[in-house]
């Protein structure tokens, strides 16, 4: 299986060896799109996809994502970035260029409920999740067999609030050793400390089993049942120090009614959780998310 996945990733890299993405955030003003397009044209780049958004045509914020083909981007990326600095300074841009060839490395944190982990692993096995799943960390042993059967390193690190800082030191060390680009909390039922969150700002994606901002915190399905809701949902968001209040990436819902008890709602909700988290992870891999304050722009 590991060989099959490796071949899938290598095929993807070969097909996109000359492709890159440019993400931009800056104050809105006339001429940004024209200037960026002209710059890419002068550097022999062919724009494959372009999306832009402004919060307000008069003095708002401007966001842009461009995917482009450029010959020999592997050797010319540094020169391209250096040349773009002048434009970035002129328009006061927060920007980055990434090569599609550079497969992102992700770590998955999970506890006892494995449905979200299984979904990510399935998407990865089928080649629909173009990532290097470098390791899985869990405070329970339940997922060891499925993870190790796919050749992915598994680390069992018991965790509770009394030893949280010691646990996070081990986790941060592993994340650094594996050179991880971002972390996915696939139903990891531990609260992260501000130090951990700060070390990976806007690089930790969580799935919460409710349609936020409703039912923040623990046992949302039970509380939803008690409240008699007719819709339940799930929310994928970036982690911040405020519990379940980070920038929202994706959400979805399903109808329920008076015949559904809390266990029925949980089963329905788990299906939503899987798809919502998988979409958010794919968008992160595709460089489609820009965080602005406590919101996201998803192209």
Catalytic residues: 244
Distance CA 52, CA 73 (A): 23
How buried is 185 (Cβ within 10 angstroms: 0-12 exposed, 13-18 middle, 19+ buried)?
A: buried
Sheet holding 94-99, edge to edge: 46-54, 61-69, 19-27, 94-99
Token pair for residue 134? 């470098």
Distance CA 14, CA 2 (A): 18
Short-list 182, 214, 207, CA closest to 270: 207
What is the full DSSP assignment across 247-272? PEEEEEEEE--TT--HHHHHHHHHHH
Residue 205 has φ and ψ, to the nearest 5°, of -105, 130
Distance CA 44, CA 278 (A): 35
């Amino acid at each position: 299986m590991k060989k099959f996945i490796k071949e899938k990733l290598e095929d993807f890299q070969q097909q996109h060896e000359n492709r890159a993405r440019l993400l931009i955030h800056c104050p809105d003003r006339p001429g940004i799109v024209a200037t960026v397009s002209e710059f890419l044209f002068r550097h022999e780049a062919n724009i494959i996809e372009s999306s832009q958004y402004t919060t307000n045509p008069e003095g708002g914020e401007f966001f842009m994502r461009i995917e482009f083909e450029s010959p020999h981007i592997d050797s010319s990326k540094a020169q391209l970035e250096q040349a773009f600095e002048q434009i970035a300074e002129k328009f006061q841009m927060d920007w980055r260029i990434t090569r599609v060839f550079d497969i992102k490395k992700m770590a998955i944190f999970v506890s006892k409920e494995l449905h979200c982990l299984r979904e990510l692993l399935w998407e990865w096995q089928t080649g629909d999740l173009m990532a290097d799943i470098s390791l899985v960390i869990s405070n329970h042993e339940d997922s060891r067999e499925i993870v190790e059967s796919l050749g992915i390193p598994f680390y069992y690190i018991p965790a509770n609030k009394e030893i949280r800082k010691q646990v996070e030191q081990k986790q941060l060390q592993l994340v650094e050793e594996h050179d991880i680009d971002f972390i996915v909390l696939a139903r990891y039922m531990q609260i992260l400390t501000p130090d951990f969150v700060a070390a990976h700002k806007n690089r930790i994606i969580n799935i919460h089993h409710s349609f936020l901002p409703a039912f923040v915190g623990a046992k949302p399905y039970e509380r939803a049942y008690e409240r008699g809701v007719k819709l339940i949902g799930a929310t994928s968001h970036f982690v911040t120090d405020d519990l379940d209040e980070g920038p929202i990436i994706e959400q979805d819902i399903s109808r329920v009614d008076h015949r559904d008890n809390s266990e029925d709602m949980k089963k329905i909700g788990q299906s939503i959780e899987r798809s919502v988290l998988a979409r958010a992870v794919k968008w992160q891999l595709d460089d489609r998310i820009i965080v602005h304050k406590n919101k996201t722009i998803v192209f």
